[in-house]
């Protein structure tokens, strides 16, 4: 088994280790594609992830009390692979199946097939679908969780802020849910064009300014019912609040926000409103991709099952989202491209 590791900020390396033994309920897969996370994983690559200087205690980030080097980091969670071995009690998978899983970067991986086992999702690729769509199942789970959290209903108006892969999947989910109009925001023309292709009614370039005013012009002078903010930019989160309908609109924060949030001003539209003194909107966090529990309507298993069916049924398209492919051995070049030229890419994957 060959693992890809982030050995230090901006440095990729590899380690060969003994294959993990199979249990009665696990399967062994050989990787075909691995996707690189342009958000969470790149923050580890850049040495910016909060986990590098903190540990989590009781659900809270706490400063590390030692100077232990947090590297190397084994990361990644977007794998398309072929089943090459199965445990004696495995019933739902067979050798030769193509599966989509949340495994880290490696040429060989082991997946537990039970609900409580790792990785956090494991789906057989639906019949007739381009198997590379599985690269987007984890991101699709984030997008779908965002839609569920937004509580958007048929006939309501929605905005997607940030048109990376998660944002572009959000656009399609809104279209499937009967949201009208759908307004998509991104500074890159390539991404705005893709949003129109995927079902957006209007697109906005935030570089031209006055985003909230433009949205009201497109929406009969009104704020929208919900904004799903995926960019992780504090200024965009602030503008998302401004876009909402007064005392009703919801902002779902899906982005990977870093730093002190200096561009987010909660003393303006969030707390006060031109139209209503009770405030303009609420900021919501995603909450459905959690461990299964008896009686819970939505959990991570249902989220990923639903997304896999939508990919297989053609309701969510991934055409053109993979813009660059690199061999597994050339991962340093792939990570460098994402870091230095984000304007050129949508999704970068590794091939085996």
Q: Is 60 left (phi over 0), alpha (psi -120 to 50) or beta?
A: beta
163 compared with 61, residue with greater pLDDT: 163
As a whole number, mean pLDDT of residues 310-327 equals: 96
The average confidence (pLDDT) of the chain is 91
pLDDT value of residue 278: 47
pLDDT value of residue 224: 94
As a whole number, mean pLDDT of residues 199-215 equals: 95
Kindly report, residue by residue over 74-104, the tens digit of the pLDDT: 999 999 999 999 999 999 999 999 999 999 9
Q: What pTM was computed for the model?
A: 0.93
Kindly report, residue by residue over 127-166, the tens digit of the pLDDT: 999 999 999 999 999 999 999 999 999 999 999 999 999 9
pLDDT value of residue 297: 80
* Dist. CA 318–CA 129, nearest whole Å: 11
Q: Identify the structural domains of the chain with CATH numbers, from first to last.
A: 2-130+318-351 (3.90.180.10), 141-284 (3.40.50.720)
Can you tell me which residue has the tokens 């609420």? 282
Q: Give me the phi and psi of 105, to 5 degrees please.
A: -70, 115
Identify the burial level of 186 via C-beta atoms within 10 angstroms of its C-beta, where 0-12 means exposed, 13-18 middle and 19 or more buried: buried
- Please say whether the beta carbons of 255 and 233 come within 8 A: yes
Give residue 287's pLDDT band: very low, low, confident or very high (50, 70, 90): low
Closest CA to 106 of 336, 330, 334, 328: 328
Give residue 272's pLDDT band: very low, low, confident or very high (50, 70, 90): low
Catalogue the E-assigned strands of the chain: 2-8, 11-16, 26-35, 54-57, 60-63, 79-86, 98-101, 108-112, 122-124, 158-161, 182-185, 202-204, 226-229, 249-253, 281-284, 322-327, 347-351
């Amino acid at each position: 088994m060959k693992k890809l590791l982030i050995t230090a900020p901006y440095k990729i390396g590899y380690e060969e280790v003994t294959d993990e033994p199979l249990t009665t309920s696990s399967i062994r897969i050989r990787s075909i594609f691995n996707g690189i996370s342009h958000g969470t994983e790149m923050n580890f690559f850049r040495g910016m992830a909060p986990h590098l200087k903190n540990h989590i205690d009781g659900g809270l980030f706490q400063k590390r009390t030692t100077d232990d080097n947090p590297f190397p980091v084994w990361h990644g969670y977007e794998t398309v692979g072929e089943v090459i071995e199965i445990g004696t009690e495995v019933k739902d998978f067979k050798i030769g199946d193509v599966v989509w899983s949340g495994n880290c970067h490696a040429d060989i991986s082991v997946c537990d097939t039970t609900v409580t086992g790792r990785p956090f999702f494991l789906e057989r690729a639906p019949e007739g679908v381009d198997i590379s769509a599985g690269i987007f199942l984890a991101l699709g789970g984030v997008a779908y969780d965002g839609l569920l959290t937004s509580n958007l209903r048929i006939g309501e108006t929605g905005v997607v802020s940030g048109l990376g892969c998660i944002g572009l999947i959000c656009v399609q989910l809104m279209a499937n849910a009967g949201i009208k109009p759908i307004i998509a925001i991104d500074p890159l023309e390539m991404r705005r064009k893709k949003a129109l292709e995927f079902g957006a009614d209007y697109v906005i370039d935030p570089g031209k300014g006055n985003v909230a005013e433009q949205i009201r012009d497109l929406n009969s002078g009104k704020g929208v019912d919900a904004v799903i903010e995926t960019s992780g930019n504090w200024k965009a989160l602030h503008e998302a609040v401004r876009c909402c309908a007064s005392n009703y609109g919801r902002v779902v924060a899906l982005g990977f926000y870093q730093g002190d949030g200096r561009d987010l001003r909660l003393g303006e539209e969030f707390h006060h409103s031109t139209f209503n003194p009770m405030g303009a909107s609420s900021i919501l966090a995603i909450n459905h991709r959690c461990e299964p529990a008896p009686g819970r309507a939505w959990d991570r298993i249902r989220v990923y099952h639903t997304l896999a069916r939508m990919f297989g049924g053609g309701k969510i398209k991934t055409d053109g989202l993979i813009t660059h492919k690199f061999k597994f051995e050339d991962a340093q070049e792939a990570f460098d491209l994402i870091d230095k030229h984000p304007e050129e890419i949508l999704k970068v994957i590794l091939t085996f």
